[in-house]
A and B are shown apart, each in its own frame.
Chain A
């Protein structure tokens, strides 16, 4: 049974840092691309970052580029999101999500499993 469990959220002052973790179980973590998605109050879902199965390829949304860094440790079945220089607009529930690639549909992908989310509040 696939499980993704996020942790590390909390209340933090603007300009400070936080590291989120997402522990995976029930599947072979090291063969799956992984993503971070957030939901801000009243703003809907926003894609934040992706990391390839081996950690070699990463991409971040423009809104967090240079401040957030996605990484993974396949030996620990864990995905991370290092968040620096946090801003009030980063306040959101942060989800990790597993990428499923459908070879029979031209390689399209979707998120088949999500964590329960962890709340990050940036406020002074």
Chain B
């Protein structure tokens, strides 16, 4: 089974900061990785698929990179609406596991 490890958690940041979240897979998953944003009381929202493809309608300040085992989600200039939890998910296996999540809160 593939294990997904995210860091850091939590992450304290200010509006306007550049934020980077890391996700590491326990084995090579190519580019089979998605990123989600999750706010309390709401359904998760997909941001990135295929490691680096921005979903239509998602602000361009979000970007994803990486392949193999190491991936990053970057928010170029953090906005108020971005304070939330972020999860990576491998979609390489038939059991698509999530990382443990990174909560981005206000510094």
Instruction: Tell me the A residues contacting B by CB distance below 8 Å.
Output: 35, 37, 39, 44-47, 50, 59, 61-62, 95, 102, 105-106, 108-112, 114-117
Contact = CB atoms under 8 A, between A and B. Distances in A.
Contact of B46 (A35, A95, A110): A110
Contacts of A114: 43-44
Given A108-B31, A110-B55, A46 B98 contact: yes
21 contacts: A37-B44, A44-B87, A44-B99, A45-B38, A45-B87, A45-B89, A47-B96, A47-B97, A50-B95, A50-B96, A61-B95, A62-B1, A105-B49, A106-B32, A106-B50, A108-B50, A109-B49, A111-B34, A111-B36, A112-B46, A117-B43
Nearest to A108: B50
A44 to B, nearest CB: 4
Interface of B: 1, 30-32, 34, 36, 38, 43-44, 46, 49-50, 53, 55, 85, 87, 89, 91, 94-101
Does more than half of chain A's interface fall in helix, strand or loop, or is it mixed?
strand
Nearest to B32: A108
Contact of A115 (B36, B43, B85, B87): B43
Given A95-B43, A111-B44, A47 B101 contact: no
B50 A105 contact: yes
Nearest to A44: B101
A105 B97 contact: no
